[in-house]
Structure 1
């Protein structure tokens, strides 16, 4: 079952710093191959009214957990506080 992750609020600068640490250089991820683990179905990032937000969809809770083990320490280093919202997707449709 797909799992949705919605990031805590943070800045675009923190997002770019996080990506550089995840990829080794890139400030923007462009392909599922850029992620350090397999299982990503969708990644959407952008500036909202109050903060920069990221929404990921993962193929399973196990895939998300593998990614979270890498991501959470990097977010903390970047000064991102709070925990992401995580829940099972009732529906996942892709074009």
Structure 2
């Protein structure tokens, strides 16, 4: 079953997001799900939010999301993002 990951907060800024991407991908942008370090990403959205920068991901399974979290967590700590991400079960998911 797919899961929705939401990550946002005051310590999560656009600059920190860009640095996280550089560390994960080795370049300034990830433009395809193939650019992610683990398989299973269905959707990734990054934007300014009301409480800081916001990332919303949809993963094909909680297991895929956790594999990604294992790679992401040390980078978040290094760049100073303090807020934990939250996982939600989707009520509905429609894609093109």
Please report the TM-score for the alignment, with normalisation by the length of structure 2: 0.93
Unaligned runs of 5+ in 1: none
Q: After superposition, give the CA deviation of every residue in 1:18-69 in whole Å (9 maximum; x if it has no partner).
A: 0000001x22211001100000000000112331100000000110010000
Q: Structure 1 runs of 4+ off > 3 angstroms?
A: none
How far is the alpha carbon of 1:74 from its aligned partner? 0.6
Aligned residue number for residue 52 of structure 2: 51
How many pairs align?
Answer: 94
Please report the TM-score for the alignment, with normalisation by the length of structure 1: 0.93
Unaligned runs of 5+ in 2: none
Q: Superposition RMSD on alpha carbons, in Å? A: 1.0
Q: Is the 8 A contact 1:8 1:80 kept in 2?
A: no
